[in-house]
Amino acid sequence: MNKVSKLQIVDIIRSSKKYPYLIVFSIAIVLRLVPEILAFPYPVGYDVINYYLPVIKNFEQYWSTISNQFPLYVSLLYAISQVFHANPRLVISSSIVLVFGLFSLVIFSIGRNLLRLDNLQSIFLSVFVIFQLGVLRTSWDLHKDMFALALTFFSLLFISKTPKLSKNLIVVTAGLNIVTVLADRMIGLLLSVTLIGSSIVKRDKGLAMVAVIVVVIYGLSIQGNHDNIGYNLKMASSSNSYNEIYNPANLIVLFLVMNAILLPSGIIGFIKSKLIIFKIPLLISMIGSFTWIIIPNTSAFLPDRWIVIFSIFLSLFSGYGFITLIENKHLTISNRKLNNYLIIILPFIFLGSAFAASPNNSYFNIYGAFHQFIGPYGPITMQYNSISLPESRSLLSVINWINNDTNTPEGSVILGSKHLRGWMELELIERSFLFADNNSKLLDSDSYSELYLLEIKSRQPTRIPGTYLQELSYKNNEFSVFKLKLIE
């Protein structure tokens, strides 16, 4: 049997209607599944351990809180776990892998249907986007953001393909966009403003009606979230809202790490493409990325989140920019066009794979070089939850020791880092976990006559006031437990 040549494979892909979708979906599924497999049995994602797992396991207990926090996605996860009697960890991981795969298909469809690319070019575009740091970082723990972004891209694709919305399509479009804005507050705001801008640009009364409906629904949904919004506005106006993490140097480095390599081709793609409806959220998220210039040193407007969102939209235009350069022979490295695409895509695949799969201290992950600046905004690698995987292993040993009645009696109070709150809620038995923004100040209050202090070796130690006697009760490679007793 003769071997199938590379050109024959390319021809099959170019002419096929189903294989390209399967290829793109498979690549995305494998890419997002790898971090989960490598980290097993420990979860990846800060919000996974501190939000999704505790909420789904204790949904009724949390409902009064999460009902005011755009609970659509986590409610879907809870419903799935209940209907299928599935382990919450499995539901959370499987859902984000599926959402990531569907997102890749939407990007492929944008290439085929809006940018008029062939199958091979659309595969390049989709793979280029999903291997970007911004996309992978969002899928790491901002699962409802990823869900909302996938719906947003699909909504904008649907609207772009429909020149004028009929009455029936108005209902469908409004329904799709309502689900999207109810999934996440920031993405909901972005989509609402985008719909308003698009209806003005397209001069479509049907789209204007959809925009009004969606904005009203979004406005009603944030009423329950007014406490958080009011707090953010208070922070923005307060002279005491300084946050050293959100300093200009950190945010500039974050912006450059996320976007510098994408900007040159992104500008070309922005100019050459006719994706007007996608240009609107790109510009909005760019403005959000630089709100720190107007009100510096505050997290009130979450500029770091806007930077990540901007990079996701920019990657779409950047990928198209590279395609334009290759097709017009302005970027000719090899005589074969396919080789040019491979030469461009392989470095991005390497960078994305290193971020997704490398250990926390790996030299292959170049983002580690910028950890001093971008560490507060996200992980250096996806092989991390609220603590590193080796620390996760050690923490479970500590919790097993704490849960033993001969070591700590039932009803004991454990004081520790807020980053451990999810682990403690899930694993601690008949004991309570205490944390604060400043544990040293909490100890200064002398509110507890006796408690146990759990210290992480990799983090700054808690200052223990002189009013407490301290005794080292347990220690392993990553953690120490001190028994503290108030001096009478």
pLDDT digit string, tens, across residues 96-147: 999 999 999 999 999 999 999 999 999 999 999 999 999 999 999 999 999 9
Has residue 1 got a pLDDT over 50? Answer: no
Q: Are 78 and 124 in contact (CB under 8 A)?
A: no
My answer on whether 87 and 203 are in the same domain is yes
Domain-located, residue 382: no
Has residue 170 got a pLDDT over 90? Answer: no
My answer on whether 362 and 395 are in the same domain is no
The arithmetic mean of pLDDT across residues 26-45, rounded, is: 96
My answer on whether 329 and 456 are in the same domain is no
Q: List the structure tokens of 202.
A: 């397209």
Has residue 234 got a pLDDT over 90? Answer: no
Q: Are 186 and 147 in contact (CB under 8 A)?
A: no
My answer on whether 301 and 360 are in the same domain is yes
Domain-located, residue 460: yes
CA end-to-end span of the chain, whole Å?
88
My answer on whether 338 and 193 are in the same domain is yes
My answer on whether 394 and 372 are in the same domain is no
Q: Are 28 and 100 in contact (CB under 8 A)?
A: yes
pLDDT at residue number 339: 87
Q: Range of 417's domain?
A: 389-486
Ordered DSSP codes for 314-339: HHHHHHHHHHHHHHTTSS-SSSSHHH
My answer on whether 356 and 446 are in the same domain is no
Has residue 238 got a pLDDT over 80? Answer: no
pLDDT at residue number 472: 94
Q: List the structure tokens of 438.
A: 């400043």
| Last-in-domain residue among 339, 355, 377 | 377
The residue ranking higher by pLDDT, 369 or 50, is 50
Q: Which of 458, 445, 251 is nearest to 243 (CA)?
A: 251
My answer on whether 322 and 464 are in the same domain is no
Give the predicted TM-score (pTM) of the model.
0.91
Measure Cα distances from 26 to 102, 126, 139, 472 in Å: 10, 12, 16, 51
pLDDT band at 13 (very low <50, low <70, confident <90, very high): low
Q: List the structure tokens of 17.
A: 């209607």
**Highest mean pLDDT (candidates 127-131, 273-277, 289-293):** 127-131
pLDDT band at 9 (very low <50, low <70, confident <90, very high): low
Domain-located, residue 429: yes
The arithmetic mean of pLDDT across residues 181-189, rounded, is: 93
pLDDT at residue number 157: 94
Q: Which of 291, 34, 280, 289 is nearest to 139 (CA)?
A: 34
Distance CA 218, CA 225 (A): 11
The region of weakest confidence among 1-5, 39-43, 214-218 is: 1-5
Number of domains in the chain: 2
| Last-in-domain residue among 344, 377, 410 | 377
pLDDT band at 12 (very low <50, low <70, confident <90, very high): low
pLDDT at residue number 10: 62
pLDDT band at 363 (very low <50, low <70, confident <90, very high): low
Q: Which of 400, 388, 401 is nearest to 459 (CA)?
A: 388
CB atoms under 10 Å from CB of 345, counted, come to 18
Helix (H) or strand (E) holding 469, with range, is strand 468-475
Domain-located, residue 1: no
Distance CA 431, CA 425 (A): 9
Has residue 196 got a pLDDT over 90? Answer: yes
The arithmetic mean of pLDDT across residues 293-305, rounded, is: 83
- State the average pLDDT for the chain: 89
pLDDT at residue number 81: 96
> Which DSSP letter does residue 388 get?
B
Q: What percent of the chain has pLDDT over 70?
A: 92
| Last-in-domain residue among 321, 354, 377 | 377
> How does pLDDT run across 77-96, given as a tens digit for each residue?
999 999 999 999 999 999 99
Has residue 457 got a pLDDT over 60? Answer: yes
Has residue 455 got a pLDDT over 70? Answer: yes
My answer on whether 473 and 355 are in the same domain is no
Domain-located, residue 414: yes
pLDDT band at 226 (very low <50, low <70, confident <90, very high): low
pLDDT at residue number 436: 84
My answer on whether 83 and 134 are in the same domain is yes
